[in-house]
């Protein structure tokens, strides 16, 4: 985000056709199940909290930061939260709200 790296990253992103966070793409990190100290925040990664976050988003492109995963075991200190993210992301109520809000789920490859 700061120079001189910002200019280099911008040129590389344009050359590769890869959009960069902070340049026309908003980042939303509120769907995260731990505090800044690594303490669990399971309520932050529930289906209801995801729906509330979705309806609060402004128009335009938004990258939703999350790291869903299954059966992480001891591989990650965030393993239990990853499974809750999967549950929330797959919840039928979340899909229904995405559709009712006319939100398009897209890949960065589709930006343009």
Exposed (0-12), middle (13-18) or buried (19+): which is 13, by Cβ within 10 Å? middle
pLDDT digits (tens, 9 = 90+) for 26-62: 889 999 988 888 888 889 999 999 999 999 999 888 8
Whether residue 4 lies inside any domain: the answer is: no
Range(s) of the domain holding residue 64? 21-110
Whether residue 46 lies inside any domain: the answer is: yes
Task: Provide the pLDDT confidence category of residue 13 given band limits of 50, 70 and 90.
Answer: confident
Q: Peptide bond before 102: cis, by omega within 30 degrees of 0?
A: no
Whether residue 15 lies inside any domain: the answer is: no
Whether residue 103 lies inside any domain: the answer is: yes
Q: How many domains does the chain have?
A: 1
């Amino acid at each position: 985000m700061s120079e001189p790296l910002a200019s280099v990253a911008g040129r590389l992103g344009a050359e590769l056709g890869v959009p960069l966070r902070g340049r026309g793409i908003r980042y939303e990190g509120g769907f995260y199940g731990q505090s800044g100290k690594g303490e669990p925040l399971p309520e932050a990664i529930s289906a209801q909290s995801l729906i509330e976050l979705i309806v609060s988003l402004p128009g335009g492109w938004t990258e939703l930061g999350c790291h869903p995963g299954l059966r992480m075991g001891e591989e990650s200190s965030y393993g239990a939260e990853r499974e809750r993210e999967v549950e929330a992301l797959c919840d039928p109520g979340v899909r229904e709200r995405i559709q009712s809000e006319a939100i398009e789920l897209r890949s960065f490859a589709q930006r343009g």
